[in-house]
Amino acid sequence: MMDSMEFETLPLFSKPYFSWNLSTDYVGRRFIYRPDSDSTMEDARRMIDRFRLTNGALLLAERQTAGRGRAGRSWVSPPDVNLYFTIILTPAPDAVRSLAYVTPLAVAHAIEEVTRGEGAELRPELKWPNDVLIEGKKVAGVLIETTSAADERLVALVGVGVNVNLDSGSYEEIRDIAVSLKDALGFAIPREELLAAICNHFEELYEAAAGGLMAPFEEWRDRLVNLGRSVVASGAGERIEGTAVDVAADGALIIELPGGRRVSVEAGDVTLRSAR
């Protein structure tokens, strides 16, 4: 990792520096940089056919004016401090569900790699369905959507927001629930190194899962902070309270109700919180 002193004034994202750290075959090789975007998800949808975006293309914005989170929430997206990006993939239909666990796991591995050394390594926690936490607060979120290209190919849009050098305390709406790497470490992290590391880990894990390996799923499941805890799942007018006991192979969370009956909950628009 570069000397943190060099990052006291935060520079614009450097594509050459990002490319220098990239070791993938296809993820991030086509790179589209947007100083401004409403949402990289919407930009990606508009560009798929117009710019013939192929498997692995990555669209990054310095800021978003209408960043979207799961369950209709917004994603706080001020300029120059964080990562807001969407990876465009053309997966086989049965590879889509691996994205829900491969993506947060790749982000966690990348954070560990980039913060390693100088005694500063962070070990993020993972929360179902696809959040990345540090000390119980959200450092990264993942939004996965599918669409189809003009030629009918299935396209998956993997949207990722990472709080990198944000001063979370300055944003009242997220102060209590969000954290940045800089908040946790006390110094800034070069966003280019982190994004390249996310792409590198993502491609490796995605290929492993597509090749039938269970290791990425098992590592994600084993790291979930929810399992064994009392949870409340709510969404679409329903509310389920019980103990999160496992995750099915399709990614659904299995909750045991007080009477012992087990129900499975699909990610969809569900919000999961700890029961009090």
Query: How many residues of this chain bind ligand BTN (CB under 6 A)?
Result: 20
Amino acid making up residue 248: A
Q: Contacts with ligand BTN in 131-190 (CB under 6 A)?
A: 131, 141-143, 159-161
- 234 by Cβ neighbours in 10 Å (0-12 / 13-18 / 19+) ranks as middle
CA atoms within 13 A on the CB side of 4: 14
b/e code 67-103 from CB counts within 10 Å (16+ = b): bbebeeeebbbeeebbbbbbbbbbbeeebebbbbbbb
Q: Nearer to ligand BTN by C-beta: 209 or 267? A: 267
CA 184, distance to chain mean position in Å, is 18
- 40 or 180, CB closer to ligand BTN? 40
Identify which of residues 8 and 176 has a Cβ nearer to ligand BTN in the complex: 176
Distances (CA, A) of 181 to 32, 233, 236: 24, 28, 33
If one asks whether residue 15 binds ligand BTN (CB under 6 A), the answer comes out as no
With binding defined as CB under 6 A, does residue 79 bind ligand BTN? no
Cβ closest to ligand BTN, residue 103 vs residue 115: 103
Pick the closer one to ligand BTN by CB: 131 or 183. Answer: 131
Tell me how far, at minimum, the Cβ of 168 lies from ligand BTN, in Å.
15
Residue ranges in 82-111 that form contacts with ligand BTN under rule CB under 6 A: 84-86
Q: Which of 182, 21, 216, 227 is nearest to 103 (CA)?
A: 216
Among 38, 18, 40, 39, residue whose Cα is nearest residue 29: 18
| Binds ligand BTN (CB under 6 A): choice among 68, 109, 127, 182 | 68
Work out how close the CB of 48 gets to ligand BTN at its nearest, in angstroms, rounded to a whole number. Answer: 15
Minimum distance, C-beta of residue 140 to ligand BTN, in the bound complex (Å): 8
Q: State the residue number with the nearest CB to ligand BTN.
A: 141
Helix, strand and coil percent figures for the chain, each rounded to 5: 30, 30, 40
Summarize as ranges the residues that interact with ligand BTN (CB under 6 A): 39-41, 64, 67-70, 73, 75, 84-86, 131, 141-143, 159-161
